[in-house]
């Protein structure tokens, strides 16, 4: 890691008399004010001295102990400025700048047990983060947290985009768009836009050994941390010393700056894996979409998908077209019958008789392809943890480098055995599961396995600390187009995800469906985009493990547009957002890490758009060949979704492109340095 520590100033003040402290962002725009109000901790945030978060409560309610919320005095404070850089293993950009001003406030109760609590604030140019620390102390050891009092007293009733919490289908819902005053309890990231266009998004970073935070509205537009509880009602079971996750608020001038923020990653600990040579971007195909269409099944039988013969077919296709891996779902014992209710029956080292793992792993290796593993647990966490080490060893033996995990259960249905031997049922997003998901990632690292988690805990930036946590689902993905209610995801869905769910982490959305209507298989559903928009999603929705999700025969019938999927990388040197309007349109350009190529994706909602794109992100004094995949002149997601035009032209950094996007459409462009032959041919 290359560090540029420009300045470090530490101010220590013992037994401070002042009851108010401030910390400003490096550019001076944002200010966090900490106060003690009659001994009770409070904070507020301003931008150019205008309120963003009004004075808000802090602290905890504990079981069998007095609250940690009042009677405090400021014992010491520490202020420091940091400007640093570090390199990502996989990411939207290679080099990340970490620039903040930090205020640490050490509090101690004036009387009684004189317990201590520290609060750390970090002010970045694009937002703030704060966390609580409980140091080791004699009078406070084991803690059962019954309430975290953290508030976000918003300065207005902003418009917002959200998914409700404590629902059956985890995070997998269409987003609602309402004022803050109309929400109840929501998941984070929770994104808002003020009347004057300022964008806010509340989330958390470095979620470790703690329960995940949802937000509950109190009053018109005050939000409160609402931690997902254990089955016994306790929110967090912990002991001192401990640190909470960071509570984060992105505050940006534009929607585009939400997408390019690195605040979340910067609030996580540095990489803990010494040798990262095995953590690589991956493009894959797989035995998956055919099951969602009903063409084949996960369980054994006449139309079992994960057969040796079918897997060989996918391996051949992957090898011919340059894909790294083949995902195989439904290969192991446990899928027959009602697997959703019987997750404990999954066996992660025993194959169905018609799936020959040793032969297939050898065949794939000979073709330069690897099998991508799949562990659906059906929410049977105890069963999975019992087998996990054997399952990881099994995969490494057969050349598997990455695993897609799954936890398909509704709501509060994760079974746990408590200390008395009784069965309890937990939420996906409580502390029990937070700790489980982390155990999986850390254990997988020992076997040099990458994890792509479905039905996951939301990401809070741990991919910096554990970069083998390469991607996850955690939102309503492509499969809902095959069988979901409302006929699939509406055109604006993928224009909300980059400003909400994707602020937390990469998403395995599984784009690239070419058979958009599938009238025979699922006549009541369809893909609600044009073909060109499916290509653009590879640039818009970042994931370092990226699937070409359709059936091989649908690509073989459409090789010219398929070329873009073959070319586009899954990992990036740099990312530039060229225009953005939440839920309406978005254009992103990204530079490849492996060469000098740039790729552009632009998408729109149900309305057609004409957008002007400045190409100043390209190198100066250099001609580029622009390979353009655009909606045809008569394309429309409802009436003419397949029409696509593929064309070439020469461009340079001085050019402005005019993009025409059909209703529900998009455009994908590859910019590659032009050869002399290209220049001669196209002049």
Last residue of a domain, one of 474, 499, 521: 474
Q: Which two tokens stand for residue 116?
A: 């201590």
State the pLDDT at residue 240: 96
Do 242 and 134 lie in a common domain? yes
Do 461 and 587 lie in a common domain? no
- Of the candidates 315, 390, 391, which has an alpha carbon nearest to the alpha carbon of residue 360? 315
| pLDDT (mean) for 591-609 | 98
Asked if residue 488 is part of any domain, the answer here is no
In eight-state DSSP terms, residue 8 is -
Rounded to whole angstroms, the Cα distance separating 481 from 537 reads 15
Do 468 and 519 lie in a common domain? no
Do 232 and 374 lie in a common domain? no
Rounded to whole angstroms, the Cα distance separating 379 from 638 reads 38
Q: Could you read off the pLDDT of 137-175 as tens digits, one per residue?
A: 999 999 999 999 999 999 999 999 999 999 999 999 999
- Of the candidates 33, 99, 110, which has an alpha carbon nearest to the alpha carbon of residue 75? 110
When divided into structural domains, the chain yields a total of 3
**pLDDT at 7 exceeding the cut of 60:** no
Q: Could you read off the pLDDT of 637-660 as tens digits, one per residue?
A: 999 999 999 999 999 999 999 999
Asked if residue 249 is part of any domain, the answer here is yes
Do 456 and 518 lie in a common domain? no
In eight-state DSSP terms, residue 559 is H
**pLDDT at 624 exceeding the cut of 80:** yes
Write the CATH number for 145: 2.70.98.10
| Position 473 confidence tier, pLDDT thresholds 50, 70, 90 | very high
Instruction: List, as one string, the DSSP characters of 362-374.
Output: HHHHHTT-EEEEE
Asked if residue 350 is part of any domain, the answer here is yes
CA 29: distance to chain centroid? 28
Do 288 and 254 lie in a common domain? no
CA 235: distance to chain centroid? 24
**Pairing mode, strands 370-376 and 402-406:** parallel
| Position 8 confidence tier, pLDDT thresholds 50, 70, 90 | very low
Asked if residue 658 is part of any domain, the answer here is yes
Rounded to whole angstroms, the Cα distance separating 133 from 107 reads 10
Domain range holding 154?
20-266
- Of the candidates 614, 574, 579, which has an alpha carbon nearest to the alpha carbon of residue 591? 574
Residue 36's DSSP bridge partners are 41
Do 258 and 373 lie in a common domain? no
**How many CB atoms neighbour CB 647 within 10 A?**
9
Asked if residue 15 is part of any domain, the answer here is no
| pLDDT (mean) for 415-430 | 95
State the pLDDT at residue 516: 98
CB 414 within 8 A of CB 428: yes
CB 215 within 8 A of CB 468: no
Do 570 and 648 lie in a common domain? yes
- Of the candidates 71, 145, 146, which has an alpha carbon nearest to the alpha carbon of residue 107? 71
Do 539 and 420 lie in a common domain? no
Average predicted confidence (pLDDT) for the chain: 95
Do 40 and 118 lie in a common domain? yes
Percent pLDDT > 90 in the chain is 95
| Position 485 confidence tier, pLDDT thresholds 50, 70, 90 | confident
State the pLDDT at residue 17: 41
- Of the candidates 286, 316, 405, 306, which has an alpha carbon nearest to the alpha carbon of residue 357? 306
Rounded to whole angstroms, the Cα distance separating 216 from 253 reads 25
Q: Mind telling me the catalytic residues?
A: 479
**How many CB atoms neighbour CB 176 within 10 A?**
14
State the pLDDT at residue 12: 37
Last residue of a domain, one of 266, 294, 312: 266
CB 114 within 8 A of CB 108: yes
CB 652 within 8 A of CB 622: yes
CA-only gyration radius of the chain, Å: 26
Write the CATH number for 402: 3.20.20.70
Asked if residue 107 is part of any domain, the answer here is yes
State the pLDDT at residue 18: 44
Helix (H) or strand (E) run with residue 394 in it: helix 381-397
Rounded to whole angstroms, the Cα distance separating 130 from 493 reads 31
State the pLDDT at residue 562: 98
| Position 486 confidence tier, pLDDT thresholds 50, 70, 90 | confident
Asked if residue 274 is part of any domain, the answer here is no
Rounded to whole angstroms, the Cα distance separating 72 from 243 reads 19
Cα within 13 Å of Cα(21), Cβ side:
26
Rounded to whole angstroms, the Cα distance separating 347 from 391 reads 9
Do 201 and 297 lie in a common domain? no
Asked if residue 413 is part of any domain, the answer here is yes
**pLDDT at 616 exceeding the cut of 70:** yes
State the pLDDT at residue 1: 42
Last residue of a domain, one of 456, 474, 492: 474
| Position 277 confidence tier, pLDDT thresholds 50, 70, 90 | very high
Q: The tokens 């953005």 sit on which residue?
A: 580
CB 212 within 8 A of CB 228: yes
Q: Could you read off the pLDDT of 94-104 as tens digits, one per residue?
A: 999 999 999 99
Rounded to whole angstroms, the Cα distance separating 181 from 651 reads 48
Q: Could you read off the pLDDT of 321-364 as tens digits, one per residue?
A: 999 999 999 999 999 999 988 889 999 999 999 999 999 999 99
Do 181 and 230 lie in a common domain? yes
Rounded to whole angstroms, the Cα distance separating 256 from 39 reads 40
| pLDDT (mean) for 6-20 | 45
Helix axes 381-397, 431-446, angle to 10 degrees: 10
């Amino acid at each position: 890691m290359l560090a540029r520590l420009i300045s470090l100033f530490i101010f220590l003040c013992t037994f401070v008399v002042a009851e108010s402290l401030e910390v400003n962002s490096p550019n001076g725009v944002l200010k966090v004010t900490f106060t003690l109000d009659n001994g009770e901790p409070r904070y507020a945030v301003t931008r150019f001295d205008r309120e963003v978060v009004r004075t808000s409560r802090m602290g905890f309610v504990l079981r069998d102990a007095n609250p940690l919320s009042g009677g405090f005095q400021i014992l010491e404070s520490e202020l420091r400025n940091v400007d640093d850089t570090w390199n990502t293993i996989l990411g939207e950009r290679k080099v990340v700048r970490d620039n903040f001003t930090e205020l640490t406030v050490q509090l101690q109760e004036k009387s009684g047990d004189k317990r201590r609590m520290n609060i750390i604030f970090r002010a970045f140019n694009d937002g703030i983060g704060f966390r609580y620390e409980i140091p080791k102390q004699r009078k406070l050891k084991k803690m059962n947290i019954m309430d975290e009092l953290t508030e976000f007293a918003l300065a207005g009733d902003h418009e917002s985009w959200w998914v409700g919490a404590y629902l059956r289908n985890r995070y997998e819902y269409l987003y609602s768009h309402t004022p803050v005053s109309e929400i109840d309890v929501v998941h984070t990231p929770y994104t808002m836009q003020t009347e004057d266009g300022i964008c806010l998004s509340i989330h958390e970073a470095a979620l470790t050994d703690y329960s995940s935070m949802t937000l509950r509205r109190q009053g018109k537009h005050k939000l409160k941390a609402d931690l997902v509880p254990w089955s016994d009602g306790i929110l967090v079971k912990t002991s001192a010393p401990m640190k909470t996750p960071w509570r984060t608020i992105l505050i940006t001038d534009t929607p585009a700056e939400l997408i390019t923020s690195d605040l979340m990653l910067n609030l996580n600990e540095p990489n803990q894996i010494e040798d990262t040579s095995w953590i690589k971007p991956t493009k894959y195909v797989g035995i998956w979409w055919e099951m969602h269409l009903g063409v084949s099944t996960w369980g054994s039988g006449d139309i079992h998908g994960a057969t040796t013969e079918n897997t060989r077919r996918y391996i051949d296709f992957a090898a011919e077209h340059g894909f790294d891996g083949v995902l195989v779902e439904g290969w192991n014992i446990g899928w027959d019958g009602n697997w959703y209710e019987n997750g404990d029956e999954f066996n992660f080292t025993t194959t169905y008789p018609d799936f020959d793992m040793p032969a297939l792993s050898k065949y794939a290796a000979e073709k330069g392809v690897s099998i991508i593993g799949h562990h659906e647990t059906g929410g049977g966490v105890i069963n999975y943890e019992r087998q996990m080490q054997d399952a990881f060893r099994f995969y490494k033996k057969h050349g598997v480098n990455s695993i897609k995990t799954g936890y398909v259960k509704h709501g509060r249905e994760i079974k746990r055995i408590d200390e008395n031997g009784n069965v309890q049922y937990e939420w996906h997003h409580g502390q029990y599961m937070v700790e489980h998901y982390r155990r999986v990632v850390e254990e997988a690292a020992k076997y040099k396995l990458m994890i792509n988690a479905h039905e996951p805990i939301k990401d809070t930036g741990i991919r910096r600390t554990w970069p083998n946590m390469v991607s996850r689902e955690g939102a309503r993905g492509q499969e809902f187009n095959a069988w979901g209610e409302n006929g699939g995801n509406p055109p604006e869905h993928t224009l909300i995800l980059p400003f909400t769910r994707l602020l937390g982490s990469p998403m395995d959305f599984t784009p690239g469906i070419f058979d958009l209507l599938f009238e025979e298989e699922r006549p009541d559903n369809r893909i609600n985009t044009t073909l060109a928009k499916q290509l653009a999603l590879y640039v818009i929705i970042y994931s370092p493990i990226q699937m070409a999700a359709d059936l091989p025969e649908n690509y073989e019938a459409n090789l010219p547009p398929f070329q873009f999927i073959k070319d586009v990388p899954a990992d990036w040197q740099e990312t530039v957002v060229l225009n953005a309007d939440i839920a309406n349109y978005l254009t992103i350009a990204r530079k490849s890490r492996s060469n000098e190529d740039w790729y552009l994706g632009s998408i729109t909602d149900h309305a057609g758009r004409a957008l002007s794109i400045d190409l100043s992100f390209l190198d100066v004094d250099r001609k580029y060949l622009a390979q353009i995949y655009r909606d045809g002149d008569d394309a429309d997601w409802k009436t003419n979704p397949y029409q696509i035009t593929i064309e070439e032209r020469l461009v340079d950094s001085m050019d402005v492109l005019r993009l025409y996007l059909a209703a529900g459409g998009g455009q994908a462009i590859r910019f590659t340095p032009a050869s002399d032959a290209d220049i001669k041919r196209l002049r």
